[in-house]
Homo-oligomer: A and B are copies of this chain.
Amino acid sequence: MTKKEIQKLIRTLETYCGDKGLRYTPPRRITLEVIAASKRPIGAYDVIEEMGKVTDKPKPTTVYRAIEFLQEHGFIHKIESLSAFVACHAGHNHEGSQFIVCNDCGTVEEVHLCHLPKDLQKKVDNTGFKMAHWNTEIHGTCQQCQA
């Protein structure tokens, strides 16, 4: 994300917290800034390192709590297969996430379909399952890395 986009995202967080009666605090703000500024998915301990450059180096707990908060409220997503985090690019809360991950360079593209593909939806419906959220991660080699 560009610096401008990050600033906008941070303002969105501030507004969101105000509206919901949640607190807009330094750990939450800085964690989001760091994740949004990263070109690739960033691990929690790398967030700690980055945060250490602008404040006292935080304890894991601090960052994990901020991450949990930001995830719950849709500002970031976890790429499970990498144990790493990216800023949400969709601009609104959604129950499904989809990522295309290059195994070579590690870059990730968020796809963002609004609905679970219907073959899967059918299966979910048939079994009486009540879906909370879903995630798809597609691995392979991006165009650049094939050259």
Tell me which of A10-18, A45-53, A138-146 binds B.
A138-146
Encode A75-114 as 1/0 by CB contact (under 8 A) with B: 0000011000000000000000010101100000101010
Task: Please give, as numbers and ranges, the residues of chain B lying within 8 Å of A113 by CB-CB distance.
Answer: 119-120
Task: Please give, as numbers and ranges, the residues of chain B lying within 8 Å of A119 by CB-CB distance.
Answer: 113, 117
A131 lies within 8 A of chain B by Cβ: yes
A132 lies within 8 A of chain B by Cβ: yes
**Closest 8 pairs between A and B when the two form their complex, measured CB to CB:** A117-B117, A128-B143, A80-B80, A131-B140, A132-B140, A134-B138, A136-B136, A130-B141
Q: A80-B80, A113-B119 are in contact. List 9 more A-B contacts (CB 8 A).
A: A100-B127, A117-B119, A117-B120, A120-B136, A128-B142, A128-B143, A133-B139, A134-B138, A136-B136
